[in-house]
Amino acid sequence: MQATEQLNPALGSLNGVTVIEIGTSVAAPFATQIMADLGATVIKVERFGTGDDSRNWAPPSWDGLSVTFLSLNRGKNSVVLDYKKPEGAEVLWDLVRSADVLVQNLRPGALAKAGFSAEALHAANPSLIYCEMTGFGGTGPMADRPAYDPLVQAYGGIVSVTGDDGGAPARVPVSVLDMGTGMWTALSVLEALRRRDVSGEGGHIELSLLQTALMWMSPQLQAVQAGNAKPQRLGSGFGGVVPYGAFPSSDEGFIFISAGNNATWGRLLAALEVSEEDAIRAFADNAERVGARHQVNDLLSAITGRFTVKDMEARLRAAGVPHSPVNDIPQVLADEQVQSLEQIVPMDHPGISDFSVVNLPMTFDGQYPLDRPTAPPELGADSRSVLENLGLDAHRIDELVSAGVIGEATTGSGSAPAPTEQTQQTEQKQEQRA
């Protein structure tokens, strides 16, 4: 299927592009949600009984539904399919032949073992763009290992530079590699579609969490290659600047301060009414402050602790010192600047009256031009309609449902019909990664 030639900006540049997702958890779902937001038709192939693992990641929940799933799966069609059964494999091949893109993040080799290797997919549909997402990449001694975001954060060096000096290393507490790899996947698909416009051929795109980690760590990697010492763990600090981090207030909040040069440092001390006799005045030069990082941070913390966050904000703003309050999530949601961006918007959901989503972080000519996609789907909600679009009649679909090949939603339950014993055994053998 080719993208429509006449672009309707409100529908997105991927309008007319069909994407199959055989994914779970975060990386593949986030990638295909981006594509859905850009106009693609996304068919999410899920397991019997449980579907995407993230459907059961709760709490946190929203009216009984997993917030993680809700945040990563809007605008999609859910099909419950056991493609390890011969009849189910036939359905998946029909989907493959009708699609433009296939994205998967199963355990390395799992889809190929089921008969859907890159070579077989290309033979069935030479124009297909096949995106294979793994933990450690397609080659090397770790290629066949499954992975999770924090494990690869540790393996790729991110954890080594987080956390406070003297304390335990800490992961970045968001799915920075899963979501980053999803973003690279969406970008790769846009590139591959442009190439296909010229050649008519699809291709095999390989992405991994480790490669995303290396990309995010490129300054640190190149610094060590250049002969510099390995980075230290500085909490929220920065190696070449002091102060650079969060400092306490008198009202139990924190304010993040960055004084990137000596002139800013002087304005900071003046704004906080630091006397000429104060010990912190001895550190007038940034190099001196970097050499005595902990001492300077302790002295400055004692000073900031005399003021409320609001008072410090007013003083530092007037003095032209870069700063920010450390907002918690409720504060972010209530923030006037955040609300003015209109990125967090309401969306109709059949089971949640006050549902909202976070739009893609982009505008075109000052506007967010894309039509809002549909809410995240109930498990198996679209199985019948997707098969009808493939040309199967109602009788044949009923046969596949009875045989446990296709599952349909039970309205309001969020799950497909209970799997048969054979399907349960198949599900137990499916090894999927986060």
Q: What is the pLDDT of residue 429?
A: 34
Q: What is the pLDDT of residue 423?
A: 37
State the CATH class of domain 9-216+370-429.
Answer: alpha beta
Q: Which tokens hold the place of 351? A: 């089971």
CA distances to 12, 54, 68, 166, 429 from 357, in Å: 18, 17, 12, 39, 34
Ranges under pLDDT 70 in the chain = 1-7, 9, 369, 411-434
Question: What strands, in cross-sheet order, belong to the sheet with 244-248?
Answer: 244-248, 254-258, 323-325
- How do the domains of the chain map onto residue ranges? 9-216+370-429, 244-328
* CATH number attached to the domain at 244-328: 3.30.1540.10
Quick one: 362 exposed, middle or buried, by C-beta within 10 A (0-12, 13-18, 19+)?
exposed
Q: What is the pLDDT of residue 8?
A: 74
Query: What is the enclosing helix (H) or strand (E) of 28?
Result: helix 27-37
Instruction: Report DSSP letters for 206-261, one per residue.
Output: EEEHHHHHHHHTHHHHHHHHTTPPPPPP-TT-BTTBSSEEEEE-TTS-EEEEE--S
Q: What is the pLDDT of residue 379?
A: 97
Q: What is the pLDDT of residue 411?
A: 62
Asked, colleague to colleague, whether 9-216+370-429 and 244-328 share their fold, the answer is no
107's CB contacts (< 8 A; 6+ apart) are 146, 431, 432, 433
Q: What is the pLDDT of residue 432?
A: 37
Give this prediction's pTM.
Answer: 0.89
Q: What is the pLDDT of residue 188?
A: 98
The catalytic residue positions are: 178
Closest CA to 136 of 156, 161, 160: 156
For 7-49, list the strands marked E by DSSP.
Answer: 18-22, 41-46
CA distance 375 to 371: 12
Q: What is the pLDDT of residue 5?
A: 54
Within 61-148, where are the H helices?
Answer: 67-72, 86-98, 110-113, 118-124
